[in-house]
Amino acid sequence: MSNAEIVVPKEKAIEELNRRLTVLQDQARAIKVTDQPTYVQAAGIRTSFKAYIDAVKFQTRPEIVATKEKLDRLKQDESVLLSPAGAEVKALDDKIVSWREEEKRQARVEQDRKNAELARQAQEKADADRRESERIAAETQKRKMAEIKHLLDTGKIGKREAARQLKAAGLFAQAAIEEAAAAHEEAKNAPPPTVTVKPNVPTVAGAPKNQVYYSARLVSPEKLWVAFAAAIRSDNSERAAFLSRFFEVSESALAKYARETKDNERASEAVPGVEFTSRG
């Protein structure tokens, strides 16, 4: 809507209003309320300002109302034209989002399947590595015992030395078995390799944005207050400061209470941290 469509008040009426405003401004700026006569005079100037405001509204309000009515009609026409299209767009969005969510679900299922397979393979490898380590340790022990027996039979070592070496060989084999068990435990507890399967959702012009919108709704306000009070009692200032982010003071409710109480001192005692004032 252009400025040319707005019909302004008559020029003479505007000139008269401007003249009255200039006179009233001069009077208001010049007066000093120091006694009863000037008090009455200031009140009279204020009454003249109220009359001036009413006169301005009388001149401008008809065109404002007419313009608003025209704007309302245009908005109604726009709504009639947009409503069917909006309904179809929403229906399309529901179909697109439904398919996209199904693609995401299938991607998660495939990802879980692949990760489960990787975890199984990692477990099998850890078990195989342990069995191989135990086999090597057993063969090493068997070979070492045969060497010791050969040395004993050929007289190269005595029975005491043979006994000492046999003990050492046994401890070595047991240590190898324990190391294999420890490596198996570490491999079992280690997080298995994982893969990420992304949904096969193409980027297409016109499709609704493929993003997640997060929101919140307060369902148990008393729990929030209890948690805040607990943080205050335990001197947990960090927790209290965090929870206070979700509290909002209603100044309109404070102003309403001030009007109901009509006593600044009593209101300040009842609601700490708030300055109650009055004027007039």
Query: Is the separation of the CB atoms in 195 and 115 below 8 Å?
Result: yes
Tokens representing 219 are 């369902």
How buried is residue 267: exposed, middle or buried, by Cβ count under 10 Å (0-12/13-18/19+)?
Answer: buried
> What pLDDT score was predicted for residue 179?
66
Across the chain, mean pLDDT equals 84
Tokens representing 254 are 């404070």
Greater confidence, 41 or 213?
Answer: 41
Render pLDDT for 144-177 as a digit per residue (tens, 0 to 9).
Answer: 878 878 887 888 888 778 777 777 776 565 555 5
Render pLDDT for 97-119 as a digit per residue (tens, 0 to 9).
Answer: 899 889 989 999 999 999 889 88
Q: Biggest alpha carbon distance in the chain? A: 139
H-helix segments, 154-212: 159-189
Least trusted range by pLDDT, from 129-143, 157-171, 211-225:
157-171
Has this prediction a pTM greater than 0.85?
no
Least trusted range by pLDDT, from 164-178, 202-216, 225-239:
164-178
> What pLDDT score was predicted for residue 258?
93
